[in-house]
Amino acid sequence: FSNIAPVPKWALITVAVAGAILLLLFLVCIIRCCCGKKKPKKRERISLCPVSNSTTASLVQPEMEDLERGMEQMHRGKLQYSLDYNFHTQELKVGVKQAVELKAMDSGGTSDPYVIVYLTSDMKKRYETKVYRKTLNPIFNENFTFQVPQAEVPESTLVMQIYDFNRFAKHDIIGEVRLPLASVNLQHIIEQWSELAAASKVEEEQLGEICFSLRYVPSTGKLTVLILEARKLKRMNSHGLSDPFVKVYLILNRKKWKKKKTSMKKNTLSPYFNEVFVFEVPFNQIQNVDVVISVWDHDKVTKNEPIGKLFLGCRATGNQLRHWSDMLSNPRRPLAQWHILQPPDVVDKALGLKSHLKLPLASR
């Protein structure tokens, strides 16, 4: 053994360094593998945090309940109908043919459907089909006729709503078809199918618009109201027209004070008046005065009916308040403006008037 040469020192150092390098590489591989597995999770958490609200989350991965609810809402059925407009008589004939694959509204998996048909331009006139028991595919075959002047056809929308009849509770709406007549070619008879959509909110009844001017002269205390014209008034008689006239009255400190009215215009929904009224209102009272403009339908047999109202004054809001403020800011200058008529009961409630109290009226 004495003949074996000793291992050089540099060789021992080389082996030690090589071992250290291998150990270091091994540790780096382990660390990289571990970090590589954890990093995606960290990125996923970071990217999902900002979109954790319910709306965006449902777009990424909707719940099964949401999917089922969406399918249920989409599936309402189809309605077949026909349209025939007679340009000579100005009548629209609507045929409600049949419906298929209606949404089941009863616990037994069926419905008791019927259809309500009306035009948005004359919501007072509505037709109903017969009720068909326990079916999702009713055949109606009923026709309804509407009097629609040709000039008003583009402004009308045909609404056909299918309801589920219930003898002991409120009738549930299955769906509806809304068809703007402006989008339909009525030069020939139309027969088509439409998917039922979810029922929209009940639209407010259109009462019409009125144009008038206001002028106030503080030095003389004269308030001038010029009733110019009205348009698109609500139909009040069986012929689809009205016999309108306008009442103008003043309210002082929430009490009726003075009133005047225009002449009556026969058989029109767009009357032209051009009638002027002058009221004496001292400057110290103008802030306490409300001007009420109301459009009425004259009736020889029964009581006159109000079509719509509006009021102006310091208590008013919106366009009415703006018109009144402009008048006060521009003394001696007449200012004209169009206003949308509102339901009479809504205006009376805003004015705080009690209809059963008969207050003395002083006409000037």
pLDDT at 247: 95
Is residue 201 in some structural domain? no
Q: How far apart are CA 230 and CA 339, in angstroms?
A: 9
Is residue 183 in some structural domain? yes
Q: What is the pLDDT of residues 168-196, one digit of tens each?
A: 667 889 999 999 998 889 999 999 999 99
Asked if the model's pLDDT at residue 45 lies above 60, the reply is no
323 C-beta neighbours (distance < 10 Å), count: 21
Is residue 181 in some structural domain? yes
Mean pLDDT of 300-312: 88
pLDDT at 106: 84
Burial of 290 per CB tally in 10 Å (0-12, 13-18, 19+): buried
Tokens representing residue 180 in the block: 């703007």
Q: What is the pLDDT of residues 190-221, one digit of tens each?
A: 999 999 998 876 555 678 899 999 999 999 99
Asked if the model's pLDDT at residue 48 lies above 60, the reply is no
* Cα Dmax for the chain: 146
Residues 241 and 296 in one domain: yes
Q: What is the pLDDT of residues 323-364, one digit of tens each?
A: 999 999 999 899 999 998 988 888 888 888 654 434 444 444
pLDDT at 6: 65
Least confident of 5-19, 42-56, 259-273, 284-298: 42-56
Is residue 151 in some structural domain? yes
Residue from 69, 97, 102, 67 nearest 81 by CA: 97
DSSP 325-344: HHHHHSTT--EEEEEE-B-H
Residues 186 and 124 in one domain: yes
Q: What DSSP designation does 241 have?
A: -
Residues 269 and 152 in one domain: no
Residues 312 and 222 in one domain: yes
pLDDT at 264: 93
Residue from 208, 206, 212 nearest 247 by CA: 212
DSSP-derived pairing of the beta strands 209-217 and 335-340: antiparallel
Is residue 269 in some structural domain? yes
pLDDT at 340: 87
Residues 295 and 187 in one domain: no
Q: Using pLDDT thresholds of 50, 70 and 90, give the confidence band for residue 236.
A: confident
What CATH number did the domain enclosing 150 receive?
Answer: 2.60.40.150
Residues 270 and 221 in one domain: yes
Residues 174 and 234 in one domain: no
Residues 272 and 324 in one domain: yes
Residue 164 structural domain: 78-195
Residues 128 and 236 in one domain: no
Residues 115 and 188 in one domain: yes
Q: What total of structural domains would you count in the chain? A: 2
